[in-house]
Structure 1
Amino acid sequence: MATKEELAEFFEQDFPQANFIIERVGDRSATIRKKITHEHLRPGGTVSGPVLMEMADAALYVAILSEIGLVALAVTTNLNINFMRKPASDKDVIAECKLMKLGKLLAIGEVSLFSDGDPNPVAHAVGTYAIPPVKKFG
């Protein structure tokens, strides 16, 4: 298992491009936040789809690593996302992940994405991660 602080340090060192804040981990779940700036918007003043997909994927990764420890080589094998409404261009994006299955080789989770302060989700994603097998020596 990894704590919120250990995860934040891991992302800062190994994934410096990860520009989000880990708000909460535990109980097979995670919540992360991303500050939305002009660079995250597409024409029409909405948060771009790739930003929302990034947040869904990152929330899954954080939730999984909080349970299995800092396994850098766990990778996304599938991510399905439904965009439900236009996110606010002046609010942070919040991603809340709940793991549905956590096995030895696969993890499956669902993520709801929100504009900060709005209880209605802007997107919903389901993703699968492959977890590398533990190598046994001897």
Structure 2
Amino acid sequence: MPIVMDVDALMEFLRREFPQVSEDFVIEEVTEELTTVRLAVGERHLRPGGTVSGPTMFALADVGIYLAILARLGPVALAVTTNCSIDFLRKPASGRDLVSKTRILKLGRVLVVGDVLIYSEGDDRPVARASLTYSIPPRA
């Protein structure tokens, strides 16, 4: 499915609809095959021991697929997560941003299924893998 919202349109949507978290994320690339989103890791994202927390990595995966969906469907604010399975593969590198790479596997009328790989900046070994399903509200 062709891209209908580019990086600038997605960032504007994120700032407008989710101002509480929009400063955490930078959309780096949107293509028909892949959506790449960076999380600027800060102190608030760390758990005891200095590693990035699981909920932070979940948020990156969830935002990554949400933006990948919007890039294809347009501003569907009420699309919601219906399922997520996440595997934490290795400890993220200390002091580095996280980068997610999202692929849409199935874009149906009601459900979207995608796969997200999360990396520490500068490392080609994923730190987490998530599979997510989203529900798309009925369109008028």
TM-score interval for Structure 1 and Structure 2 normalised by the shorter chain = over 0.9
Between 46-55 and 17-26, report the one with greater CA deviation: 17-26
RMSD: 0.8
- Aligned to 1:46, the other structure's residue is in SS state coil
- Aligned to 2:14, the other structure's residue is in SS state helix
Aligned position for 2:8: 5
The normalised TM-score by structure 1 is 0.95
- Aligned to 2:126, the other structure's residue is in SS state coil
| CA distance in structure 1 between the partners assigned to 2:33 and 2:117 by the alignment | 15
The normalised TM-score by structure 2 is 0.94
Aligned structure 1 segments of 4 or more residues deviating by more than 6 angstroms:
none
- Aligned to 2:115, the other structure's residue is in SS state strand
1:48 to 40, 50, 53: 53
Alignment size in residue pairs: 135
Q: Give CA-to-partner distance per residue, 1:31-72, whole Å, 9 cap, x none.
A: 000111111111111100000000000000010000000100
Q: Which ranges in structure 1 are unaligned for 5 or more consecutive residues?
A: none
| CA distance in structure 2 between the partners assigned to 1:22 and 1:91 by the alignment | 17
Identity %: 47
2:120 to 115, 121, 133: 115
| CA distance in structure 1 between the partners assigned to 2:96 and 2:14 by the alignment | 23
The residue type paired with residue 9 of structure 1 is E
